[in-house]
Amino acid sequence: MDETKYGFWFPPDVSVHGRQIDSLINIVHWFMLLLFVGWGAFFVYCLIKYRARPGHTASYLPPKAQFTKVIEVGVIVIEVLLLFGFSTPVWFRYKNHPPTEKDALVVKLVAEQFAWNFQYAGKDGKFGKTAEANISADNPVGLDAEDPDGKDDIITVNQFHVPVNKPVIVQISSKDVIHSFNIPVLRVKQDAVPGARIPIWFQATQAGHFELGCAQLCGLGHYRMRADVLIDTPEDYAKWLAESAPPPAEQPTSAAPENPQSAPQK
Amino acid sequence: MSVHAVHPADAAIPHTVEPHPVTGIPNPKFGIWLFLASEVMLFGALFSSYVLIRTQAPHWPPEGGLSSEILNVPLATLNTAVLITSSITMVLAWASCKMGRIDRFRLWMGCTIGLAFVFLIIKYFEYTDKFHHGHFPAFNNFYAVYFTLTGLHGLHVIGGIIVNTFLLTIGTRLWKTDPEQFTNRVENAGLYWHFVDLVWIFLFPSLYLL
Amino acid sequence: MSASTTHGHAAAAHAHDAGHGHHELPFWRKYIFSVDHKVIGVQYAVSALVFLFFGFCLMMLLRWQLAYPGQPLPVIGKLLSESTMPGGVMAPEFYNQLGAMHGTIMVFMGIVPLAVGGFGNYVVPLQIGAPDMAFPRLNMASYWAFLPGGILMLLGFVAPGGAAQSGWTSYPPLSDIATTGQTIWLLAMVLLITSSLLGSINFIVTIVQLRAKGLTFFRMPFFVHAQFVTSFLLLLAFPPLEAASVMQLMDRLAGTSFFLPSGLVISGEQLHVAGGGSPLLWQHLFWFLAHPEVYVLILPAMGIIAEVIANNTRKPLWGYRLLVYSAIFLGFMSFVVWAHHMFMTGMGTTMSTFFQTTTMIISIPSVVILTCFIMSLYGGAIRFTVPMLFATAFLPMFAIGGLTGLPLGLTASDIYLHDTFYVIGHFHYVVAPGTIFALFAGIYYWYPKVTGKQMNQTLGKIHFWVSFICINGIFMPMFWQGMAGLSRRLYDPTIYAHGRAVQSLNVLISWSAWGLAIAQLPFIWNFFSSLRRPKAAENPWQATTLEWAAPSPPPHGNFVTPPVVYRDPYEYSVPGKAKDFSPQFAAGEA
With CB atoms and an 8 Å threshold, state whether C498 touches A63.
Answer: no
With CB atoms and an 8 Å threshold, state whether C10 touches B39.
Answer: no
Question: Is residue C458 assigned to a domain?
Answer: yes
Please name the member of C368, C417, C484 whose beta carbon is closest to the beta carbon of A9. Answer: C484
Question: Is residue C6 assigned to a domain?
Answer: no
B: neighbours with 3+ CB pairs under 8 Å? C
Which phi and psi (to 5°) does residue C74 adopt? -60, 145
pLDDT tens digits, chain B, 210 residues: what are they?
344 544 444 558 999 999 999 999 999 999 999 999 999 999 999 999 999 999 999 999 998 899 999 999 999 999 999 999 999 999 999 999 999 999 999 999 999 999 999 999 999 999 999 999 999 999 999 999 999 999 999 999 999 999 999 999 998 899 999 999 999 999 999 999 999 999 999 999 999 999
Range with lowest mean pLDDT among B6-15, C540-549, C559-568, C572-581: B6-15
> How far apart are the CA of B106 and the nearest CA of chain C, in angstroms?
23
Rounded Cα–Cα distance for residues C494 and B170 (Å): 66
> How far apart are the CA of C427 and the nearest CA of chain A, in angstroms?
16
Question: What pLDDT score does C12 carry?
Answer: 42
> How far apart are the CA of B31 and the nearest CA of chain C, in angstroms?
6
A137 to chain C: closest CA residue: C268
Domains of chain B: 21-209 (1.20.120.80)
B97 exposure class (CB count in 10 Å sphere: 0-12, 13-18, 19+): buried
pLDDT tens per residue, range C6-23: 344 444 444 444 444 446
C590 pLDDT more than 50: no
Cβ atoms of residues C121 and C133 within 8 Å: yes
C313 to chain A: closest CA residue: A58
Contacts of C3 in chain B (CB under 8 A): 3, 5, 177-178
pLDDT tens per residue, range C234-283: 999 999 999 999 999 999 999 999 999 999 999 999 999 999 999 999 99
Exposure string for B40-68, b = 16+ CB within 10 A, e = fewer: bbbbebbbbbbebbbebbeebbbeeeebe
Domains of chain A: 9-53+64-96 (1.10.287), 105-244 (2.60.40.420)
Mean pLDDT for the stretch of residues C70-86: 89
Question: Is residue C487 assigned to a domain?
Answer: yes
ipTM above 0.90, yes or no: yes
With CB atoms and an 8 Å threshold, state whether B136 touches C2.
Answer: no
Which phi and psi (to 5°) does residue C579 adopt? -95, 160
A86 to chain C: closest CA residue: C412
Most A-contacting residue of C89, C179, C264, C265 (CB-CB within 10 A), to test interface: C265
C: neighbours with 3+ CB pairs under 8 Å? A, B
pLDDT tens per residue, range C428-466: 999 999 999 999 999 999 999 999 999 999 999 999 999
Question: Is residue C305 assigned to a domain?
Answer: yes
pLDDT tens per residue, range A172-195: 999 999 999 999 999 999 999 999
C345 to chain A: closest CA residue: A191
A43 to chain C: closest CA residue: C374
Contacts of B7 in chain C (CB under 8 A): 1
> How far apart are the CA of C280 and the nearest CA of chain A, in angstroms?
8
Question: Is residue C572 assigned to a domain?
Answer: no
| B51: contact with C, CB 8 A cutoff | no
Contacts of B17 in chain C (CB under 8 A): none
With CB atoms and an 8 Å threshold, state whether B9 touches C137.
Answer: yes
With CB atoms and an 8 Å threshold, state whether B41 touches C236.
Answer: yes
Rounded Cα–Cα distance for residues A97 and C435 (Å): 43
Rounded Cα–Cα distance for residues A162 and A198 (Å): 19
For residue C110, the domain's CATH number is 1.20.210.10
pLDDT tens per residue, range A194-246: 999 999 999 999 999 999 999 999 999 999 999 999 999 999 999 999 999 88
For C524, the domain range is 38-262+281-549
Please name the member of A28, A42, A191 whose beta carbon is closest to the beta carbon of C410. Answer: A28
Quote the number of domains for chain C. Answer: 1
Measured CA to CA in angstroms, residue C42 lies from C112, C120, C140, C351 at distances of: 14, 11, 12, 44
Rounded Cα–Cα distance for residues C175 and C190 (Å): 16
Question: What pLDDT score does A92 carry?
Answer: 87
B50 to chain C: closest CA residue: C258
Rounded Cα–Cα distance for residues C119 and C446 (Å): 9
| B159: contact with C, CB 8 A cutoff | no
Residues paired with A182 in a beta bridge: A189, A213
> How far apart are the CA of A153 and the nearest CA of chain C, in angstroms?
21
Please name the member of A71, A211, A220 whose beta carbon is closest to the beta carbon of C92. Answer: A220
Percent of the residues in chain A that have a pLDDT greater than 90, as a whole number: 70
> How far apart are the CA of C211 and the nearest CA of chain B, in angstroms?
10
Question: What pLDDT score does C588 carry?
Answer: 74
Report angle CA B48, B51, B52 to the nearest 5 degrees: 90
C292 pLDDT more than 70: yes
Q: What share of chain A is helix, strand, coil (3-state, %, to 5)?
A: 35, 25, 40
Question: What pLDDT score does C29 carry?
Answer: 85
pLDDT category at A75 given cuts 50, 70, 90 is confident
| A88: contact with C, CB 8 A cutoff | yes
> How far apart are the CA of B123 and the nearest CA of chain C, in angstroms?
19
Average confidence score pLDDT of chain C: 94
Rounded Cα–Cα distance for residues C149 and C147 (Å): 5
Contacts of C491 in chain A (CB under 8 A): 220, 222-223
C162 pLDDT more than 80: yes
Please name the member of C171, C404, C412 whose beta carbon is closest to the beta carbon of A21. Answer: C412
A92 to chain C: closest CA residue: C349
Rounded Cα–Cα distance for residues A187 and C217 (Å): 50
pLDDT tens per residue, range C344-363: 999 999 999 999 999 999 99
Contacts of C572 in chain A (CB under 8 A): 58, 60
> How far apart are the CA of C391 and the nearest CA of chain B, in angstroms?
33
pLDDT tens per residue, range C55-68: 999 999 999 999 99
Close Cβ partners of C491 (under 8 Å, ≥ 6 residues apart): A220, A222, A223, C65, C69, C90, C92, C95, C96
Close Cβ partners of C550 (under 8 Å, ≥ 6 residues apart): C126, C558, C559, C560
Question: What pLDDT score does C23 carry?
Answer: 63
Cβ atoms of residues B172 and B96 within 8 Å: no
First to last CA, chain B: 54
Close Cβ partners of C325 (under 8 Å, ≥ 6 residues apart): none
Mean pLDDT for the stretch of residues A31-42: 94
Does residue C8 come out as left (phi exceeding 0), alpha (psi in the -120 to 50 range) or beta? alpha
pLDDT tens per residue, range C305-353: 999 999 999 999 999 999 999 999 999 999 999 999 999 999 999 999 9
With CB atoms and an 8 Å threshold, state whether C236 touches B38.
Answer: yes
> How far apart are the CA of C411 and the nearest CA of chain A, in angstroms?
6
Please name the member of B49, B57, B137 whose beta carbon is closest to the beta carbon of C254. Answer: B137
Percent of the residues in chain C that have a pLDDT greater than 90, as a whole number: 90
C492 to chain A: closest CA residue: A223
Contacts of B23 in chain C (CB under 8 A): 208-209
Cβ atoms of residues C241 and B38 within 8 Å: no
Question: Is residue C577 assigned to a domain?
Answer: no
Rounded Cα–Cα distance for residues A187 and A212 (Å): 11
Question: What pLDDT score does A185 carry?
Answer: 96
Most B-contacting residue of C201, C209, C288 (CB-CB within 10 A), to test interface: C209
| B56: contact with C, CB 8 A cutoff | yes
Rounded Cα–Cα distance for residues C573 and C548 (Å): 18
> How far apart are the CA of A106 and the nearest CA of chain C, in angstroms?
18
Question: What pLDDT score does A266 carry?
Answer: 39
A: neighbours with 3+ CB pairs under 8 Å? C
